[in-house]
Amino acid sequence: MQIKPARIIALSFLIAIFFGVLFLLLPVSTEGEIAFIDALFTATSAVCVTGLVVQNTGAFFTSFGQGVILVLFQLGGLGIMAFSTIFALMLGKRITIRGRRALSVVFENVEIDVKVLLKWIFVCTVLMEALGAVILNFYWRDLGFFNALFHSVSAFCNAGFSLFPMSLQDARSSILINAVFILLIVSGGIGFLVLYDLGRLLKHKIIKKDMRLTLHSKMVLIITIALFILGAVFLFISENQGVLEGTTLNSKVLAACFQSVTARTAGFNTVEIAKLNPGSKMLLSMLMFVGASPGSTGGGVKTVTFGLIILGIVAILRGKNQIRFFNRAIPLKLFEKAVVIFTLSILWIFFAVLVLFFTEQQNALHIIFEVISAFGTVGLSCGITAQLTIIGKLIIILTMFFGRIGPMTLAIALARRETGDFKLPEENVMVG
């Protein structure tokens, strides 16, 4: 029986989580005994590049355990299928038909050769993570190179894991640290296809040849910039007399910009999230829900999905029969898919929040924030993660998995059969 590509992707993540749990349960991985649910939570958080933690990564896990976590979020960030294919190419093997079908689900509508794209992913990942590690090692040279490498890979993969108990709060005023992390987070979050497109654009500019970005890249970049500006300005205004009160203007600007970027799936923080104003938490929740871009290392509903929803609503309100963007018409089936993804995501978040309301004795806003953070594979928290009950942890584990794989991919993976092509008679119903 032939396995659907989406199921292969889901299964690959599950296998990685399984082996992650086995390694984290080894005595050599931790300083003390770790419960199975905590090992499962940590492995899922790492593979799904979320960053929510129930144990202090830097203190509770040994160097071996930290190395296991690093490998897990590197695998999860690149995508298990893409990662295995890269090494198959390095060994001179051909990509199987099944492998191509699976990759087509991950890198949907790719108009370039998959081999070229995968080689670009490998080269880009190695260069960005190595460059980040070298720069961070210069700043944290007393802490050792592994510390720099861990944070560089974590940032590029949008994993949010940190070896520091307070994440990056101690580096809030450092322009270098903020700049490096923002560059790594954005590079990993905008998607490999966009990075490839930008690389081609730069190459053509150097050789003075005409070339335009694809419609996909334009949409990703515009939405990414718009959300960044919106988030940074709102956080600066909202927290000027909040958690940022008493700090310098430089620190306020850096903190607002950093949190706007990291809320899009990275999960690092330079301010104490629990002390943010309710309005700031709701804004971060919105940014976390949107998440990263398609074909990237992050989760969430994705920027393009969000963009298509907005464009579709605008087109409907204006009475247009097409969804238009940069003088191009976007196929209706993509808008329909975006609506399905958006709806499934809302329904799952509602379900998860409802369950946690019954099982957890926590602030309601903090519960909502935690669930959306898990779904967007962000990792920001108001400090309730370690206090969750076993049921609460299981719900968050499922939410991280659901948010990383993608609602539509998971829906395809769980579909038992495809519907036929026949059409039934139509009949109207009242709307609104």
Question: Given this model, what pLDDT does residue 386 score?
Answer: 92
Strand, coil or helix: what is 378? coil
Q: For residues 37 and 362, what is the distance between their CA atoms, to the nearest angstrom?
A: 20
**384 is a domain residue:** yes
What is the dihedral angle through the alpha carbons of 249, 266, 292, 363, rounded to the nearest 10 degrees? -90
pTM of the shown model: 0.90
**Residue 323 φ/ψ, nearest 5 degrees:** -95, 115
Question: Token digits for 322?
Answer: 């097409």
**149 is a domain residue:** yes
Dihedral sign, Cα of residue 104, residue 113, residue 85, residue 3: positive
What residues make up the domain containing 120? Answer: 5-412
Closest CA to 404 of 368, 376, 369, 371: 376
The answer to whether the CB of 49 falls within 8 A of the CB of 299 is yes
**259 is a domain residue:** yes
**378 is a domain residue:** yes
Closest CA to 109 of 182, 197, 198: 197
Domain count for the chain, please give it.
1
**11 is a domain residue:** yes
**419 is a domain residue:** no
**422 is a domain residue:** no
**420 is a domain residue:** no
pLDDT tens for the chain, 432 residues long, are: 455 667 777 888 999 999 999 999 999 999 989 999 999 999 999 999 999 999 999 999 999 999 999 999 999 888 766 665 555 555 566 666 666 666 665 565 555 666 777 777 888 888 999 999 999 999 898 899 999 999 999 999 999 999 999 999 988 889 999 999 999 999 988 888 888 888 888 888 788 777 788 888 899 999 999 999 999 999 999 999 889 988 889 999 999 999 999 998 888 999 999 999 999 999 999 999 998 888 788 888 999 999 999 999 999 898 888 888 888 888 888 888 888 889 999 999 999 999 999 999 999 999 999 999 999 999 999 999 999 999 999 999 999 999 888 766 765 655 555 555 667 787 778 776
